[in-house]
Amino acid sequence: MTSLLTSLWHETRGRFDRLPVWLPGARMELGDVGVFDDGGWVKHTTLDALGIPFTPDLPGVPTGYDYASHDGAQVSTWLAADGDPTVSGIAQGNAGLRIRFSRAGAFVLKADEVTVQSLANLADVDRRILARHRAGKWERGWVLVSEVARGGPAITVVSGSSDGEAFVDLGVTAAAAGQPLAAAGAGIALGTRRGLAGYFVSPTETTLLWRGRCVRDPWWSSKTSMTDRGDQIHEELPVDGLDPHVVEIEHLEDVPTDDR
């Protein structure tokens, strides 16, 4: 995946202690199992389908998320009456937001009524995943979605350039706007935009952030090294003496691929 996505993951992890949904708007549910390819998240199966029982914890207290990259994003209220609606794509008389970026990878995330839910029996799930791994029934690239943060209305916009820009029509008139996002109507939509790497605008609840887990097996790393450096096999084993174990994904580099 791109360096832009790596930057986004690091910033999101640092700010929210969770990871961004990529591409924005991708469907991710608690207990999903899938992989990441060049296009982002691809669901393969679920814990239920694999016969691994899990118990969702009670959702947390709803809260609002309002974040813009401090060094690369600026958000301001916009009224269609302030200028030609054909420029912003915001319906005449509606309230909206104008988002301007000054670097690639900068992002804006706004959402109301966000609740966090995770697996209550995580230790048991980890043990069962390792049992499947030992039986050859857990694929190398699989990632488990172990926690989700869901909310809405929601806006996620990620810049792909140093001059990205987007207008968001909140779907309500300026007079009814009040707190802009909280009052957003069913007609909330992205208007004119340029230079974006990804975006998602929804009037309903959606998954915004997540946490995930994968199997880390030192043998995979040593096997790759032996394949690449066959003349040094005796130097590659053992790698670190560790047995396969389940770890939480913190950054993009932690996502298992064919070469790690």
DSSP codes joined into one string, the chain: --HHHHHHHHHHHHHHSSEE-SSTT----TTEEEEEETTEEEEEEETTTTT----BPPP---EEEEEE-TTTEEEEEEEGGGS-HHHH-PPTTEEEEEEEESSTT-EEEEEEEEEEEEBTTHHHHHHHHHHHHHTT-S-TT-EEEEEEEEESSEEEEEESSTT-EEEEEEEEEHHHHSSTTTT--TT-EEEEEESEEEEEEESS-EEEEEEEEEEE-HHHHHHHHHHH-GGGHHHHSSSSSPPPEEEE--SGGGS--TT-
Q: What is the pTM of this model?
A: 0.84
Over the chain (260 residues), the average pLDDT of each successive run of 10 is: 81 94 92 90 96 95 93 86 71 88 95 95 97 94 97 93 93 62 73 94 92 86 46 42 86 72
pLDDT score of 133: 95
pLDDT score of 194: 96
pLDDT score of 239: 46
